[in-house]
Amino acid sequence: MSSRSLMPAEPVLRYPAESDLTQQTGAVESAAAPLCLRSVSKRWRKDQRRVLDRLDLALEPGTATWVGGRNGVGKTTMLRIASGLIEPDGGRAEVWGVSASENRARYQRLVSFLPAGDRGLYARLSVRHQLEFWARIALVPHTRFRQTVGEAIDKFDLGELSGRRVDRLSMGQRQRLRIAMTFLDHPEVVLLDEPLTSLDVEGAALLHAAVDEVLARDGAILWCSPGGEHLDRQFDSRWTLERGRLVAA
């Protein structure tokens, strides 16, 4: 496989911020919500129907939410807006009451996004170097840099693979590495786009354990996939995205 095919087209998002960041004025009313999408609308062309049409969604602390729907219905667009990657045409996405445009560094410090596919990996890096590279992007403090990378390797059972190049990994092993990157520095809001893709039973168990850790510290999970038939965990709420809006599943 060529290195081009594994170059990051849309990396897993984790950007840290300075420690003294404060909330913006006017964000108090939604300060209790880890993630809130308020009347979010998006269309890609003026002559097309809106992909998202005044969509509302709020994630409470310590909860996991599942959103399903057929391919192409807009789930990934919703996640990209929630992650701060793209702006909606109308409405806003907030994390603890603050939008990405108001305080991008703080927003990205709190949110981590696992896109579908195998994006975010460099083919010629080893597993350890990929995690170290990501830790530097995340500005993990020098005092706990090695500890953070080591914990990720241990937590996601990557020890035997740590010296292997990414382009020598199976699809399931790459997915496990991408998940390790997603949970690397204790995000408060985790956005997952088809995270079980290519995972075996052991890999799925590691993912579920990481999700449980986020929930235990009152973070929130937004998990998207085309169907829920293969999900062996309980969600606090389930929705289906239809015609740009969420309906109870």
- Give a yes or no: residue 45 inside a domain: no
Could you tell me which residue, 46 or 92, shows the higher pLDDT? 92
Residue 102 lies in a domain: no
**In this predicted structure, what is the pLDDT of residue 159?**
96
d(CA 236, CA 67): 11
What pLDDT, on a 0 to 100 scale, did the predictor assign at position 229? Answer: 62
CB atoms within 10 A of CB 188: 18
pLDDT for residue 27: 35
What is the residue-averaged pLDDT of the chain?
Answer: 86
Token pair for 209: 């354990």
pLDDT-derived band at 100 (thresholds 50, 70, 90) equals very high
For residue 72, pLDDT beyond 70: yes
In terms of residue numbers, what domain contains 150?
61-84+108-237
Residue 40 lies in a domain: no
Q: Which residue has the tokens 């975010």?
A: 120
Domain-located, residue 141: yes
Tell me, what CATH number does 228's domain have? Answer: 3.40.50.300
Tokens 């109870």 found at: 248
Is residue 125 situated within a structural domain? yes
pLDDT at 3 over 50: no
Q: What are the Cα distances from residue 54, in Å, to 4, 80, 91, 238?
A: 37, 16, 7, 18
Count: domains in the chain = 1
pLDDT of residue 140 exceeding 50, the answer is: yes
Domain assignment of residue 249, yes or no: no
Q: Please count the other Cβ atoms lying within 10 Å of the Cβ belonging to residue 183.
A: 24
- If you average pLDDT over residues 120-145, what whole number do you get? 90
Q: What is the pLDDT of residue 31?
A: 52
| In-domain check, residue 94 | no
pLDDT over 80 at 197, yes or no: yes
pLDDT of 9 higher than 70? no
3-state secondary structure the chain: CCCHHHCCCCCCECCCCCCCCCCCCCCHHHCCCCEEEEEEEECCCCCCCCCEEEEEEEECCCEEEEEECCCCCCHHHHHHHHHCCCCCCEEEEEECCECCCCCHHHHHHHEEEECCCCCCCCCCCEHHHHHHHHHHHCCCCHHHHHHHHHHHHHHCCCHHHCCCEHHHCCHHHHHHHHHHHHCCCCCCEEEEECCCCCCCHHHHHHHHHHHHHHHHCCCEEEEECCCCCCCCCCCCEEEEEECCEEEEC
Lowest mean pLDDT among 20-24, 48-52, 200-204: 20-24
The per-residue pLDDT for 2 is 36
114 inside domain:
yes
Share of the chain above pLDDT 90, in %: 70
Residue 84 pLDDT = 94
- Using pLDDT thresholds of 50, 70 and 90, give the confidence band for residue 249: confident
